[in-house]
Amino acid sequence: MRKSIIVSLFAVCLVILFFTLTSMVKVFSSELIEPALTAEQHNSYRLVLITRELDTPFWAKVERGAKAAAEQNGASLEVWGTYGTNRDDFLKNIEVAIASKVDGIIVQGLDTDEFKSLTKVKAASKGIPVITVANDVPMNESLRRTYVGSDHLEAGSMIARQMVSDMGFVGKVVLMVSDRQEYFQRTRLTGILNVLNAYPKIITKIVAAGDSREDVAAATNELLNEEPDADAFIAVSANHAGSIIQEISKRMRVDNFFIYSFDDSPETLTLMQQGKIDALIAQSPEAMGEESVALMIKWLTGEQVPLNPDGYFTDIRVMRAEDAK
């Protein structure tokens, strides 16, 4: 009888020891596994940066800033883009991003009905937030969450004030724009005219050119025939500056004109160093990339909701020819 009791007690002790060890294993396992799961969740946000100008130095800086911010915030960032401003491929990339159910899209704004339909209908219906970067589109037409980039209205005003300071209150100014103006170009143009309209003796002429260098050169050549007494040029689209200067130099001295542009690209900086551009508006593309990713993360985590619908403006400044030398 006594032997049976001892055996029973021993069996009970074994059972208790088994459950105790099992519980300890579970506790220690949960302590080891839980941080890994948390880290995995923290790295779960998949973001995509999409641009139409993948091969430009400006967008290389935007990409660098965006990748740094993504790494800092533990998010995954893919950069998709097209070369030569191919709009169809660009829009296709947005469609693919939406179909892939990414967590957030950071995209160069494009002021077309197709772009707005993708952001306002398809992305919104799937709950995918869209932030425009560098180039904006109207919020009510696109339902983008916010914009990160330069204040293009102020940029236009700044370059116009610099031109008036250089040229004086009298003269004929050519404003070179694209045939199909993007929203940011129209905003820049408004800023320029807001300043110049205050000077009745400054005559402005708006000239529309295509996007290719050949189209801009042809428009410049025709303008010089029609307006040989022009005093100044403002390239509202930054990639027009080189073609304008090249065409002028075929016929006369470039330094006979006051010439202004936007964006401190390698080409425009070289032209400034040569004294062919008097001033330009320098932007902050790396900061655009950093802030757009940081804001997207804040939106996704609920840390900052809603985002400012008017946008977040990055630094701009006037760079004069003497600053580039």
Whether residue 35 lies inside any domain: the answer is: no
Nearest to 301 by CA among 73, 50, 17: 73
pLDDT > 70: percent of the chain: 86
CATH of the domain at 85: 3.40.50.2300
Whether residue 135 lies inside any domain: the answer is: yes
Please check whether residue 248 is in contact with residue 242, taking contact to mean a CB–CB distance below 8 angstroms. Answer: no
Residue 169 CB contacts under 8 Å (≥ 6 apart), including other chains: 199, 201, 202
More confident residue, 9 or 136: 136
Whether residue 293 lies inside any domain: the answer is: yes
Are residue 278 and residue 176 in the same domain, yes or no? yes
Are residue 162 and residue 275 in the same domain, yes or no? yes
Nearest to 249 by CA among 219, 280, 276, 279: 276
pTM of the full predicted structure?
0.83
Whether residue 68 lies inside any domain: the answer is: yes
Are residue 165 and residue 215 in the same domain, yes or no? yes
Whether residue 223 lies inside any domain: the answer is: yes
Instruction: Find the mean pLDDT for residues 87-102.
Output: 95
More confident residue, 20 or 295: 295
Q: How confident is the model at residue 30 (pLDDT cuts 50, 70, 90)?
A: very low
The pLDDT value recorded for residue 102 is 97
Are residue 85 and residue 161 in the same domain, yes or no? no
pLDDT > 90: percent of the chain: 69
Paired tokens of 127: 């709950």
Whether residue 16 lies inside any domain: the answer is: no
Are residue 78 and residue 93 in the same domain, yes or no? yes
**Average pLDDT over the chain, rounded to an integer:** 86
Nearest to 261 by CA among 273, 247, 278: 278
Q: Residue 245: which H helix or E strand, with range?
A: helix 241-249
Are residue 145 and residue 156 in the same domain, yes or no? no
Going from the C-alpha of 293 to that of each of 27, 51, 78, the distances in angstroms are 37, 14, 12
- Give yes or no for residue 33 having a pLDDT over 50: no
Domain that holds residue 55: 46-150+285-314
- Give yes or no for residue 73 having a pLDDT over 60: yes
Residue with tokens 């200067």: 245
The pLDDT value recorded for residue 238 is 81
Instruction: Give the least confident one: 28-37, 58-67, 301-310.
Output: 28-37
Predicted confidence (pLDDT) per residue in 120-179, tens digit: 999 999 999 999 999 999 999 999 999 999 999 999 999 999 999 999 999 999 999 988
Paired tokens of 194: 């807001």
Are residue 75 and residue 96 in the same domain, yes or no? yes
More confident residue, 85 or 12: 85
Q: How confident is the model at residue 319 (pLDDT cuts 50, 70, 90)?
A: very high
The pLDDT value recorded for residue 239 is 83
Are residue 159 and residue 265 in the same domain, yes or no? yes
Nearest to 119 by CA among 140, 148, 88, 150: 140
Please check whether residue 185 is in contact with residue 136, taking contact to mean a CB–CB distance below 8 angstroms. Answer: no
Paired tokens of 325: 């030398």
Predicted confidence (pLDDT) per residue in 210-247, tens digit: 777 888 889 999 999 998 899 999 999 888 899 999 99
Overall number of domains in the chain: 2
Residue 275 DSSP symbol: T
Are residue 257 and residue 203 in the same domain, yes or no? yes
Q: How confident is the model at residue 43 (pLDDT cuts 50, 70, 90)?
A: low
Whether residue 38 lies inside any domain: the answer is: no
- Give yes or no for residue 56 having a pLDDT over 90: no
Would you mind telling me the total number of residues written for the chain in this entry? 325
Are residue 271 and residue 229 in the same domain, yes or no? yes
Are residue 90 and residue 124 in the same domain, yes or no? yes
Q: How confident is the model at residue 324 (pLDDT cuts 50, 70, 90)?
A: low
- Give yes or no for residue 315 having a pLDDT over 50: yes
CA distance 202 to 206: 13
The pLDDT value recorded for residue 84 is 64
Going from the C-alpha of 24 to that of each of 31, 32, 33, 167, the distances in angstroms are 11, 12, 14, 82
- Give yes or no for residue 312 having a pLDDT over 80: yes
Q: How confident is the model at residue 31 (pLDDT cuts 50, 70, 90)?
A: very low
- Give yes or no for residue 25 having a pLDDT over 90: no
Whether residue 34 lies inside any domain: the answer is: no
Q: Where are the alpha helices (DSSP H) in 168-284?
A: 183-196, 213-226, 241-249, 266-273
Whether cis (ω within 30° of 0) applies to the bond prior to 266 is no
Are residue 159 and residue 146 in the same domain, yes or no? no
Residue with tokens 């001295």: 253
Bridge partner list, 319: 280
